[in-house]
Amino acid sequence: MESARDKCTGGIVDAEQLWIIDTVDPLGYECRGCGAPVTPCSYRPENKVRPYFSAKDGHNAGCDVEGEVELVKRARKQRISTREGFPGSFPNRLVLRDTRPAGSSGTPTDATSTGRYRAGSNGSGEAQRDRHWAAQTIRPICRTFVNYPYDRDLPLAVPGIAAHTYQRAFRPLKSDQILQYPEPRLFYAPISWKAPIEVDDQFEIQLSYGEWTERKLTRPYRVRMDWKDWSAAKRNYVFREIETARLEYMAAKKRGDNEKGWLFFIGRQDEDDPTLFHVDDHRLVCCVVAEMIYPPRPAKRQEERHAAVRASTEFADRNG
């Protein structure tokens, strides 16, 4: 699984965060759905696949994390929210904390989660679901956006972004034009697999959207990290994120899958050069290799609904 609860802080960490932790505690994590112990895997520098957590002894009854793979398969074809709500758990906010809370070695404090896992007190042994949780990087939020294309009305709170659903908080860059984006959003566009440029303590990633002349991308959007003051660990985190995504993309291409590398970021557009975005924090950039699904626009769905209402009214008129 891609995320787990840190037993010390009570916060939910994404497996990629293991890249940046000095000494990973193999016993320090539990399933965010049921509290079963989980083991951090594949986080060492020599590992080529992304880090993940493994529930080697299985999950407790009623754990929804266990069923997530199947849920996502269904969710990529249709809406899975019902009148009862969304059937899975998801990050509903981004909370950037600078460090672990002081004294975090004591009892777990749970500043970042609502409805922490509790073993069922009714004797059923069923785990109560941790339905909403706080993401510590944009990565789990971006994954949720990709995985649940028909449920993008799910609530989301991101500091500095004046939008309250997944649908509105995310904004793709324009594929064939350089635009001004006055409102901060969680931007995304396909990454160009040209090697990132590193000069003078700046790291720059080129995207595959921008201005085209004679079918050539002449002014691509770019994402720049001015990382003079970044630690080696933070730089390494971004390096590995991009490099791992590149390997995933190549594997997908080999399989013949229709996947792209999508770079997601929260950044500010340069005042003088609108092709350029500045990202100040390693937690605000990630690359997800996936097929992006865009469901029919809500306006169209609404039209269909109106058409259905019209049809039923006409039916009533004719028959009433």
In the complex, the residues that contact Zn ion under the rule CB under 5 A are 31, 33-34, 36, 59, 63, 65
We find the least distance from the C-beta atom of residue 14 to Zn ion, in angstroms, to be: 16
Nearest of 210, 215, 228 to residue 273 by alpha carbon: 210
We find the least distance from the C-beta atom of residue 305 to Zn ion, in angstroms, to be: 38
**List of long-range contacts for 39-45, beta carbons under 8 Å, 24+ apart:** 40/4, 40/15, 43/15, 43/18, 43/19
Q: Which is nearer to Zn ion, 89 or 269 (CB)?
A: 89
**Half-sphere exposure of 232 toward its Cβ, with a 13 Å CA cutoff?**
1
Burial, 211: exposed, middle or buried (Cβ in 10 Å; 0-12, 13-18, 19+)?
middle
Residue 195: CB atoms within 10 A of its CB come to 10
We find the least distance from the C-beta atom of residue 61 to Zn ion, in angstroms, to be: 10
- For tokens 């809406």, the residue is 79
We find the least distance from the C-beta atom of residue 214 to Zn ion, in angstroms, to be: 54
Q: Which is nearer to Zn ion, 34 or 158 (CB)?
A: 34
Nearest of 186, 265, 174 to residue 224 by alpha carbon: 265
We find the least distance from the C-beta atom of residue 1 to Zn ion, in angstroms, to be: 8
